[in-house]
Amino acid sequence: MNKAIFLDRDGIINVDKAYVSKIEDFDFCEGIFEVLKHFQSLGYLLIIVTNQSGIGRGYYTQEDFDTLTAWILAELKKEEINIHAVYHCPHSPEDRCDCRKPNSKMLQDAIKEFDIDVKKSWMIGDKLSDIEAGKNAHIDNTIFVNSAAYTEAKHNVKSILESINIVKK
């Protein structure tokens, strides 16, 4: 079985500017390359799980999301970082789908597809719904990256860089 780090996108991979859909609006979070290289060096699969309700709300298209995602993956590849998969929920909250975090369908699909051991895996996010999605997928190892603390998360940090001191194996 494999071990994985599940990562939210907006607020973890990139600066959350609300409904980022264009390359010119995308900025990687400080330290994310270092963090992802660290996780990769420990043998973790890197999987992005992201709510993208901007698609369902008509703010941008699936094609816009796909174009930006391809660019993100190419930029990470230049840094020798391999993202194994990107799962996204294109629905608005009103759609009440199974894939929108805090529901765990995106994570469950990845767990099945990549034969992931949830006991050795992590969920990292900056919103309560990220941590809840991890817990709903039976991932107990969670890191909440936010200036506020969330008691349901196993670890609380203010910067993604701090996760290097937590994820060691």
The residue from 10, 64, 115, 130 that is catalytic is 10
Task: Output Rg (C-alpha) for the chain, integer angstroms.
Answer: 15
Question: Across the chain, where does the E strand assignment appear?
Answer: 4-7, 45-51, 85-89, 122-125, 141-145, 155-157
What's the DSSP call for residue 133?
Answer: H
10 is catalytic: yes
**Distance separating alpha carbons of residues 136 and 118, to the nearest angstrom:** 11
Distances (CA, A) of 125 to 41, 95, 115: 20, 22, 22
Beta-carbon count within 10 A of 78 CB: 9
What does the block give as tokens for 167?
């994820």
User: Of residues 8, 25, 27, 64, which has the active-site annotation?
Assistant: 8
8 is catalytic: yes
Give catalytic residue positions.
Answer: 8, 10
